[in-house]
Chains A and B, each alone.
Chain A
Amino acid sequence: MLTTALILLPLIGALVVAVLPLPRTTTAGLAFLVALMEVGLWIVAASRFDFDEGGLQLGTSREWVESLGISYSVGFYGFSLWLTGAAAIVSAAAIGYAMWVGRDRPRAYHALMLFLTGAIVATFAAQDLLLFYVSFEAMLIPLYILVGVWGGARRQAATLTFVVYTMAGSLLMLASVVAFGVTQGTFSLLESGTSDNVWIFLGFAVAFAIKAPLFPFHGWLPLAYREAPVEVAAVLSAVVSKTAIYGFLRIGLPKFPEPADDLSGVILVLAAAGLVYGSLLAFRAPDLRGVVAFSSMAQMGLITLGIFAFDDLGLDGAVLQSVAHGLISASMFLLVGMVEHRCGTGELTSLGGMARGRPVLATVVIVAGMIALAVPGSATFAGEFLIMAGVYDQGWGYSVVVALGIVLAAMYTLRVISALLHVKPGSAVRDEALDLRPGELALVLPLLLVLLVLSAWPALISQSSFAGSGAAQSIVEAFR
């Protein structure tokens, strides 16, 4: 029931926000309240969750379309609960940010944001292949409008490329869902067995690779991340991309052990290439959003390396890194938004010198930057280290690439920090551009605080994601 409540709360909230003719600020406030309630509900769920026990918990299952073996079946594993938590927190921060900047047409906007949240949570909770597909697709409906209506100048091109890419993947996945479900006689992830059909696996893998996005399926990313409203970009890179990770962990590996193993070489190479390529692009990006966007792509490559390491360390690291990257990328995007709000641009050449007279902004940016570049002791460092160690067995070269990725991350993060805070004041930075307001701080600070807690205690996630399983083989088996 708790899982269903987690899914339904934002959806009902969306309906209420859309229907009630409230004034602007009240509408936004109501949406923010619902988002906060979602976080609270998640905390309740986490407190009821027995992390030592492992396996599926808080599950509910009801028949939906019996004749085809489709059911409404939801529940959480350790790792999916953590991903859900990140989603709830990031959504709350994003909705809070939207409230703070006062988006136009607030009823539509906030209803869509809440709907998006509900769809994301449903994706993480889905234990039925069709339900997974439904929620995976449902995310696209609000995103299409959110980017297309509230986005930047080239929003239409952005939505078009975004939708073309993701739908191409989703439809391949639909073919795979049909093929898998019909051959298995059920769509339930709990009841179905494994398949050794490489083509069906490929359908899923491509869909996830596009959603993540992994190299070379990232064509939609630069435009979408640049043109989306900044808090939507935050949700996109922080949590929507993680649904692909969930897909790999819940469907890709457990249902297709053989094809996944056969193709792991290709995927690892692509992931490594994506890590390096994304980092380089981030280093060369001319604007703040570009840096965050491409670093996000690099991080997704890194996480994929962890998944396809096929061992404890890699998988634990992948989940930890997913959560940590979700939080850090959301805070970075929100900070970018706050800077853009002040200066009207995110071009690095016209920014600079913002540290002077703006101590809070400088501190927050530096803290976030430190976590992003994975200084030893941070949660991201723990995640990256686990992945690096985990992937070693697949070939030492991958570990080297991960290390290279860390170095590159340091380079592009430091470049941004110096371009933004130091150097001489940029042309777009006027004196009226004030320091962070308390309202803004209240949005970013919780994200950073959670990250600091995770930095101090990364085992909170890494030890509890796949409880009760020793090696990769047993993780794969645990889902059967």
Chain B
Amino acid sequence: MIDTPTVDWLALSPSVALLGASGVALLAAVIVPDWMRKSVAAGVVLIGFVLAAVLAGVVFDETPTPEVLLDGSMVRDRIAALTQVILAVTGAVVVLASWAERRRDNHGEYYALLAAAGAGMVFFVSADNLMTLFLGLEWFSLCLYILVALDTERATSLEAGLKYLIVGGFGSAVLLFGSAFVYGATGELGFAEIAAANPTDDVFLLAGLAMILAGLAFKVSAAPFHMWTPDVYQGAPTSVTAFMSAATKAAAMVVMLRVLVTAFPDQSEIWTIAVAVLVCISLAWGNLAALAQRDVKRLLAYSSISHAGFMLMAIAADSERGAEALLYYLVPYSAMSVGAFAVVAVRERELQRPVTLESLAGLGWERPFYGIAMWTFMLGMAGFPLTGGLFGKLFVFSAAYDSGDWWLVLIGVAATAVSLGYYLNVVRWMYMRAGGELRLAPAGGSPPTDPALGVAIGAAVLVTVGSFFAAQPILDAAADAAASLPF
């Protein structure tokens, strides 16, 4: 007789909600008549994401101390719940932003896969052993591979999908090989058990740690594991890019933090240095390469690499303060990044062609709302005041300084200085070049109104600015969440 394990449905509920939404959307793609397919699918998935956010909030509320579930397969704690809220809200905004995406077909599948990817990420951040970690990673990655390639009529989309699949497959193979080594060294898969086994200076363990770190670095697109990022971000449908840049990064960052802190506390001297090296390379490469970009999606891709550097700086701090800083950083970063790609999507839909800096000319005056929104996002990413970007950088720098990494602070400051070059360049193109100069009148007369996208961008602006003024509540939640990790 086999004892069936008890399942904590509340802990799984955000994932289940999204999976359910995904299933309904998929059915809709088949059953519902053509004309209302998109609205049904989008509506259901939007509800799914909102529901997941609410449920994750409930989990956060009801979980003062971490609980390990299902024989160590997953953990129910606040850091996971908080990240799930961020992921689910990001997903909901992306659903709004993708409403008016021009796509010939596959609407039901698009939303179903978006929800499935969301469900995967939501699960991924609560994974508590190497097996569920790997499976969660593959779960959302496979969804993303398809999503990236979904615009099958565009060659670049398919190419980007293939590239992402190959590089992602390579990355997960490295991660898997590392996991196998760690398993070999300790005989355990669970994070806490790995830490408890603690075979000091075991070469297998160290090699495994290095490979797990590298595998996750692929997903957070930290240099030098970023080579797929620009191509994939550029080729993917813009709303998918928005989702990847915000959600994938958030989920993978939090998981990296969790793995390093819970499974490898005794090796912290080694991995803090490794992460610090990633920080330096990401900041240098991301920022310098971004300076040379003309295509806005590529520019934002490199910018996201440099942001990965800032977030890793919080991980390198290896302290509760660092964890708080990372979780705070994710809030404005997700908003800014989704928002910026949404503005790119606006322009893309107007012009029916890829958005370069030149094609942003005059946007600020033609479309004041989108202009101000993009301005806000760019300033926020550069860490200017009145946006959460400033506090994100400040908290990260504080954590790094507090841990004695003052040199990382200086590198971060230098990187920020370089980043101004391209962020302000975007603003310059929007406001200081008249659109008429370049004869890029919107294709087909006045642009279509798109209230859903407006709402999405408005929400992103609200979070970007709101996280500046109301930093304390977010930081409180982040502190509660960080407390669930064993520092």
Interface residues of A (CB under 8 A from B): 63-68, 70, 105, 130, 133-135, 137-138, 140-141, 144-145, 148-149, 155-156, 159, 163-164, 167-168, 171-172, 174-175, 177-179, 181-182
- Quote the shortest CB–CB distance from A126 to chain B (angstroms): 12
Docked complex: B389-432 residues within 8 A CB-CB of A: 390-391, 393-395, 397-398, 401-402, 406, 409-410, 413-414, 416-417, 420, 424, 427-428, 431-432
Docked complex: B425-464 residues within 8 A CB-CB of A: 427-428, 431-432
Closest 9 CB pairs of A and B: A134-B385, A178-B397, A171-B413, A137-B385, A148-B432, A175-B413, A65-B471, A182-B401, A138-B385
Contact of A149 among B379, B432, B471 (CB under 8 A): B432
Can you spell out 9 A-B residue pairs with CB atoms less than 8 angstroms apart?
Answer: A68-B395, A68-B475, A133-B385, A141-B379, A171-B414, A174-B393, A174-B394, A178-B397, A179-B401
Whether B479 is near chain A, meaning CB under 8 Å from some CB there, is yes
Contact A148 B431 (CB under 8 A): yes
Contact B428 A148 (CB under 8 A): yes
Contact of A156 among B365, B386, B432, B476 (CB under 8 A): B432
Question: How distant is the Cα of A155 from the Cα of B428 in the complex, in angstroms?
Answer: 11
Contact A182 B398 (CB under 8 A): yes
Question: How distant is the Cα of A181 from the Cα of B399 in the complex, in angstroms?
Answer: 12
Cβ–Cβ < 8 Å partners of B365 in chain A: 105
Cβ–Cβ < 8 Å partners of A66 in chain B: 472
Question: How distant is the Cα of A159 from the Cα of B409 in the complex, in angstroms?
Answer: 27
Whether B384 is near chain A, meaning CB under 8 Å from some CB there, is yes
Cβ–Cβ < 8 Å partners of A168 in chain B: 417
- Quote the shortest CB–CB distance from A181 to chain B (angstroms): 7
Question: How distant is the Cα of A418 from the Cα of B413 in the complex, in angstroms?
Answer: 48
Interface residues of B (CB under 8 A from A): 324, 365, 379, 383-386, 390-391, 393-395, 397-398, 401-402, 406, 409-410, 413-414, 416-417, 420, 424, 427-428, 431-432, 471-472, 475-476, 479
- Quote the shortest CB–CB distance from A11 to chain B (angstroms): 10
Name A's interface SS. helix
Query: Knowing A65-B475, A134-B385, A171-B416 touch, does A181 contact B398 (C-beta < 8 A)?
Result: yes
- Quote the shortest CB–CB distance from B427 to chain A (angstroms): 7
Given contacts A68-B398, A135-B385, A175-B410, 19 further A-B contacts (CB under 8 A): A63-B472, A64-B472, A65-B391, A65-B471, A67-B475, A67-B479, A68-B394, A68-B475, A134-B385, A134-B386, A138-B384, A167-B417, A168-B417, A171-B413, A171-B414, A171-B417, A174-B416, A175-B409, A178-B394
Cβ–Cβ < 8 Å partners of B476 in chain A: 67
* Most interface-central of B365, B394, B476 (chain A CB within 10 A): B394
Contact A182 B402 (CB under 8 A): yes
Contact of B427 among A105, A144, A171, A177 (CB under 8 A): A144
Question: How distant is the Cα of A177 from the Cα of B394 in the complex, in angstroms?
Answer: 9
- Quote the shortest CB–CB distance from B398 to chain A (angstroms): 5
Cβ–Cβ < 8 Å partners of B379 in chain A: 141
Question: How distant is the Cα of A175 from the Cα of B408 in the complex, in angstroms?
Answer: 10
Question: How distant is the Cα of A206 from the Cα of B104 in the complex, in angstroms?
Answer: 57
